[in-house]
């Protein structure tokens, strides 16, 4: 399976900002659990047309910054067509390389990206290099539903945690899941407030 075959097709980008998807995720509510605040810097990996980018920008405010990274110029043009606030900075790049300086990001938000990138260990190392914290939203390999990528492409939370710990994060903890997806959070051990939100680990 090639790298390109794992990627979301930009021609289907409308589905990423559909009202039904917003109603399902309610991004402002979901992101509120990440302990982000005004003035912080966030990297939205694989930002697409900005489904998570714009709510992240609202959280960090004009004193903060959201790097909106995507490999697709089409996705970034769609994002900029939605007139994001000035704290959103588009960045076209080919993962796993992240063209940002060391320790320049407070949090990397990675929503449905790890299953697309090869090699994932290099992506984890790049995230560790640029960021103090990571939040990974991914598809469960044992999902109840049929949405999302092929199950064979979906890394388990245990595998993602292993990559992050191998990269040098001190902790990587699954903090949430539903029938189809999970959230895993990691940090360098500088904070003490990453705790499981359920007992389904």
DSSP-assigned letters across all residues of 92-130: E--TT---S-TT-BSEEEEES-GGG-SSHHHHHHHHHHH
Question: E strands within 46-180?
Answer: 65-70, 88-92, 107-111, 133-139, 171-177
The pLDDT tens digits of the residues spanning 18-66 come to 899 999 999 999 999 999 999 999 999 999 999 999 999 999 999 999 9
Report the SS3 class of residue 44. Answer: strand
Q: Is the pLDDT of residue 1 over 80?
A: no
Domains of the chain: 27-187 (3.40.50.150)
The pLDDT tens digits of the residues spanning 120-173 come to 999 999 999 999 999 999 999 999 999 999 999 999 999 999 999 999 999 999
Q: Is the pLDDT of residue 190 over 90?
A: no
Quick check: 156 and 141 in contact, CB under 8 A? Answer: yes
Structure confidence at residue 100 (pLDDT): 98
Can you say whether the dihedral through the CA atoms of 7, 9, 47, 67 is positive or negative? positive
Q: Half-sphere exposure (CA, 13 Å, Cβ side) for 56?
A: 27
More confident residue, 87 or 194: 87
Long-range Cβ contact pairs of 193-201 (< 8 A, separation 24 or more): 193/35, 197/33, 200/174, 201/173, 201/174
Tokens of 77: 């043009």
């Amino acid at each position: 399976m090639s790298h390109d075959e794992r990627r979301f097709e930009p021609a289907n980008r409308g589905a990423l900002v559909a009202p039904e998807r917003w109603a399902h995720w309610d991004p402002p509510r979901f992101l509120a659990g990440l302990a982000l605040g005004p003035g912080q810097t966030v990297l939205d990996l694989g930002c697409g047309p900005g489904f998570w980018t714009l709510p992240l920008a609202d959280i960090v405010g004009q004193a903060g910054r959201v790097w909106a990274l995507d490999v697709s110029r089409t996705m970034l043009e769609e994002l900029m067509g939605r007139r994001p606030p000035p704290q959103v900075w588009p960045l076209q790049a080919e993962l796993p390389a992240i063209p940002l300086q060391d320790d320049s990001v407070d949090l990397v938000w990675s929503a449905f990206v790890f299953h697309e990138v090869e090699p994932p260990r290099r992506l984890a190392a790049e995230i560790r290099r640029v960021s103090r914290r990571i939040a990974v939203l991914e598809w469960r390999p044992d999902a109840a539903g049929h949405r999302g990528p092929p199950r064979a492409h979906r890394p388990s939370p245990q595998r993602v945690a292993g990559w992050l710990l191998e990269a040098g994060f001190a902790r990587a903890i699954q903090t949430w899941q539903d029938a189809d997806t999970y959230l895993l959070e990691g940090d360098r051990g500088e904070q003490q407030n990453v705790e499981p939100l359920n007992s389904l680990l």
